[in-house]
Amino acid sequence: MEGLRLYYGMGRDVVKAVDGVSLELDRGEVLAVVGESGSGKSSLGYAIMRLLPENVVLYDGRILLHDGGAEFDIVSMDEEALRRDVRWKRISMVFQASMNAIDPVSTIGDFIYRIVREHRPDLDKRRGLAAAAEAIKSVGLPASVLDMYPFELSGGMKQRVMIALALILRPSVVILDEPTSALDVITQANVISLLKSLRGDVSMILITHDLALASEIADRIAVMYAGKIVEIGPSDAVLTSPRHPYTGALLESTPTLRQDRALSSIPGRVPSLIRPPPGCRFHPRCGHAMDICRREEPPMVDVGPGHRAACWLLRT
């Protein structure tokens, strides 16, 4: 993914939700995108699926997907080809609002089969439902769920159904947008262990504000701030030796059970995506801000193997 931008209009303003994001994802890798609410991380997920809001004003850059010996540029490819060859077949998504992501007037089985049939017209209803049953069992639910309606399922069960649905066509990439945030703690633990068990089979982009979840599942972590990636690297490196002041502040504001230390919060608030601060977007909240930070945007600097950060401190 190179220089991906997604702007949308809000009244007369332009919201720069994703503003020049470049990153790469290896086969079978789990990349966590972490950030505060309003950092543009969910918009990044939708931008990768090319699920654009109606008020989109700018969508450009490149998202190259190499899969099955072919290359697809999601940003520029034909809409019909995207629908037929890429969506769900190669990239699927588990949405943040999984609670309402299932058709309310359809049984789970019909819902899954309706989507499977779109990409596998060779499957008749019986075989399609058999595939659905298998997928449902693989996420630890009984096959009887297929005959139930979404209003008869708990939040955790619906989340599992959505994960099963996301995986059923064996895509190469799955985007998980806050897969655990609406669940109670026990259910969260179940879903986390389910996600862990899937590691290696598919590439995952895990969008979350939960650093603990990211550290538990992800191979690499990308930290997003105001529509941009400010630091990216192997999970251990990012979590143990963060190089961007924002990552450091984010870690210090995360409570842990094991260590007894004072929590600090990041002063100020997430900047407006309509008029982001000039220079480094974090400078108004940064304790180390220098003159240059207010004027010029910092470039990405290599700070370790596969570990990069965008901060002027690293250049001096």
Partner 1 sequence: MSPLRYILLRLALALPTMLILLTVVFLILRVIPGNPIEAMVGQKAPPEYIQQLMEQAGLNKPLYVQYLDYIRGVFTGDLGRSFIDNRPVIADIMDRFPATVELAVFSFLVSIAIGHALAFLAAYFRRGVDEAVRLYAIIAYILFIPFFGLALQLIFGVYLRWLPIGGRITPGLEPPHITGLYVVDAAISGDWPALVSALKHLALPSITLGIVISGVFTRFIRNNMVKTLEEDFITTYRAAGLPRWRVLMRAYRAALVPTITMMGLQLALLLQGAVLTETTFSWPGLGTLLLERIQYLDYPTVQGVVIFYVLIVVFINIAVDLVNLAVDPRLRRGIWQ
Which parts of this chain interact with partner 1 (CB under 8 A)? 49, 51, 82-84, 86-89, 92-93, 95, 97, 99-107, 114-115, 118-119, 149, 151-152, 162, 165
47 CB burial (10 A radius; 0-12, 13-18, 19+): buried
- Whether 98 contacts 107, CB under 8 Å: no
CB of 264 to partner 1, least distance (A): 36
User: What does the chain come to in residues?
Assistant: 316
CB of 124 to partner 1, least distance (A): 18
CB of 68 to partner 1, least distance (A): 16
Nearest to partner 1 of 51, 57 (CB atom): 51
Nearest to partner 1 of 148, 313 (CB atom): 148
CB of 180 to partner 1, least distance (A): 17
The tokens for 157 are: 């069960």
CA distance 80 to 38: 31
Nearest to partner 1 of 41, 87 (CB atom): 87
Q: Write out the H or E segment, with its range, that includes residue 9.
A: strand 2-10
Nearest to partner 1 of 105, 186 (CB atom): 105
CB of 167 to partner 1, least distance (A): 13
Nearest to partner 1 of 20, 53 (CB atom): 53
Cα angle vertex 50, ends 45, 53, to 5°?
90
CA distance 107 to 143: 12
